[in-house]
Amino acid sequence: MRFKKSLLSLIGAIFILGACSSNSSAPEAEPVDSDEKESKETYKIGVTQLMEHPALNQATEGFKKAIEEAGLDVEYDMQNAQGDNSANDTIASNFVGQNVDLIFANSTPSAQAALSKTTEIPIVFTSVVDPVGAELIDSMENPGGNVTGTSHHHPESIPKALEYLKNELGAKKVGTIYNAGEQNSRAQIDKIKKQMEEYGLELEEATVATSADVKQATESIADKVDAIYCITDNTVVSAFESIADVATTQKVPLLAADLDSVPRGAFAAFGVDFFEVGHGAGEMAVKILNGEAKPNDIPAEPPKTLKFMVNKEVADAIEVEIKPEWEAEVYE
């Protein structure tokens, strides 16, 4: 019995020694980089958007996509003012109180409110027609201060639209609806009035204060004009279906200034891709958050491309033939 126990002990010892020898010959594990052990830095971005409508929503999605592509770890505080300028101020104040790392302001009023509350936190804007006129930046090339961003106003959008209205649709009197309280809109209307003189066109204006006023305003001008040109006014675009319904019923061509309005009932649009505009703003935010640049080092940018899109269903309804020479993107 003792012999058995001794033999078993000896076998066990040999097995343990063999295992130790095997382990000692195994390659050593690679040391873990201390940087890899540390979790990524999480940034907090406050997103302030004036209201819900497809163009602004697309800009926000484009912004977030650029952040995602850069691989940044971001926590968003998404806020929507629902068209209320006083809410813009409250949202901006809250972001400053939270000391967010960056504010993404999607609209002129949103950006103006943010700038009024902080000159320290970086602000990146988009969906702004005239950032210099809105006093957000000193110039497109040298923004100055803590603000930069992307404009959605292509320099050729208004001239192309007016040229098309006159030469292709034969319009003489053009109607438009806008909120005179929006700086974006005033800037566009000033450009339109100046350039309409060059094209020999007459402008019929109707102003609104809220989106609830849009349908009635459209009805007030639809029978007085040859076409309606809808600028990128946030109040008006948020109720775009109301304009489209009246225009199509009365067979008045409705030309929009943003591509997202074509699926919503515009006959056609000379416009930009708001997703791309927002994406450009997101790329600027990445540079700022990564410490590669400060806002005043990054020139503000206008959109790079202008597209022409036609809604075939609406064209058929208002009896306008889509001509091949227009080289339009046709929405069906």
Tokens of 299: 């020139």
Judge whether 128 and 111 are in contact, CB under 8 Å. Answer: yes
What is the predicted pLDDT for the residue at 26?
39
Give the span between the Cα atoms of 59 and 73, in whole angstroms.
20
Instruction: Give this prediction's pTM.
Output: 0.83
Those residues whose C-beta lies under 8 Å from the C-beta of residue 2, and which sit 6 or more positions away, are none
Cα 321 to its chain centre, rounded Å, is: 32
Residue 13: HSE in the Cβ half-sphere, 13 Å Cα cutoff: 6
Report pLDDT digits (tens) over 187-210.
999 999 999 999 999 999 999 999
What is the predicted pLDDT for the residue at 252?
98
Judge whether 163 and 199 are in contact, CB under 8 Å. Answer: yes
Beta bridge partners of 295: none
Question: Longest C-alpha distance within the chain, in Å?
Answer: 119
Those residues whose C-beta lies under 8 Å from the C-beta of residue 298, and which sit 6 or more positions away, are 143, 148, 284, 287, 288
- Stretch (H or E) spanning 32: none
Domain with residues 40-152+274-297, CATH architecture: 3-Layer(aba) Sandwich (3.40)
Give the span between the Cα atoms of 315 and 310, in whole angstroms.
8
What is the predicted pLDDT for the residue at 15?
37
Same fold, 40-152+274-297 and 157-271+307-331: yes
Q: Where are the domains of the chain?
A: 40-152+274-297, 157-271+307-331
What is the predicted pLDDT for the residue at 312?
98
Sheet holding 268-271, edge to edge: 202-207, 173-178, 227-230, 254-256, 268-271, 307-311, 329-331
The residue ranges of the chain whose pLDDT is under 70 are 1-39
- Please give the single-letter amino acid code of residue 92: A
Give the span between the Cα atoms of 133 and 187, in whole angstroms.
8
Q: Provide the CATH topology of domain 157-271+307-331.
A: Rossmann fold (3.40.50)
Give the span between the Cα atoms of 118 and 152, in whole angstroms.
24
- Stretch (H or E) spanning 74: strand 73-80
Phi (first) and psi of residue 271, to 5 degrees? -155, -175
